[in-house]
Amino acid sequence: MAYTSVQSRTGNWPDNAVQAAYDTLFGYAFKASALLEPLVDKQPEKPTSPGSSITLYKNQFFSEAAIAASTTPLVEENDVTAQALPASVAVTLTPNEYGAAVAATEKLNGRVLTPVNPVMARLVGEYAKDVIDRLVETKLRTGTNIIRAAGRASDNLLTVSDVTKATYIRQAVTKLKGAAVPDRGMGMYVGVFHPDQIHDLREETGSGSWRVPQEYGTDQSKIYNGEFGSFEGVRFISNPKSLWAADKDSGAASVSVYHGYILGREALAKAVVTPVQTVVTPVVDKLKRFYGLGWKCDLDYGVYRQESLWQVVSGSSLGV
């Protein structure tokens, strides 16, 4: 008996009727959200005019030496010598233009399985956010206050055992408080760390570690839920994008190096000439067959107060 079937379709009617199917709704790869730009909390307040750069000044207070000298009682019949006000400190930001674009053709749009325009919009938007986050973290890495795990002298000496520990968090918080740096709300500073660093911090045991107060306190739910939250006066944010390609294998014996950041008030500043914006490419070809989408901005970021920023640089048990 002759069957009209899938198995015998070659040369028969089902050969054209049975085809491979595809999902027209394309998913996206997983990616971390941009999160560093919202941590920038200082901008020029009264700029004189547009310019190629803008300089922000900070007034200093009288030094410890001046205070100590003024604790000496005045001589009744002697006048005091007038002192000059402390010199102000300058921070200069130099905005630059950044941007990128994509383009597609009318012919492609008439043949694809899924609409092109929504894909272009989503990818261009994420592209812009990722670039801005990278610009911000590039400036974070210029911070001069650095705590390296195990007291290593440089990043390339860090080993897989030189992990982030509670004592480094306490050191950074103590330094911030010692410099009278205001917190960022609710009495907390903000820490931005890679998940591998947070993992090592959560794995630490013993007196003064994260584990002890959470395991033996009255609230066990945080352990069961795997939450990290706040610790030692720092609200922690997990940032998987903080591990750059250049960081991998950059430590001793091909160990990855991780940069974590603890920020107080006004650690970062920005100068914005043109904020990040989407640009629809004008159609200029004679037959209107080419169209595109892009993003652009004109800005700069920088460390505004070095005393408000501490880096914790470490290896990780997961970083080989």
pLDDT (tens digit per residue) in 62-103: 999 999 999 999 999 999 999 999 999 999 999 999 999 999
Spell out the domain ranges in the chain. 35-320
Choose between 226 and 29: higher pLDDT.
29
Asked whether residue 216 carries a pLDDT value surpassing 50, the answer given is no
Choose between 32 and 112: higher pLDDT.
112
pLDDT (tens digit per residue) in 269-297: 999 999 999 999 999 999 999 999 999 99
**Residue 248: band (very low, low, confident or very high) from pLDDT cuts 50, 70, 90:** very high
Could you tell me which CATH number the domain at 35-320 has?
3.90.1690
The structure's pTM equals: 0.89
Contact 191, 306 (CB under 8 A): no
pLDDT (tens digit per residue) in 16-25: 788 889 998 8
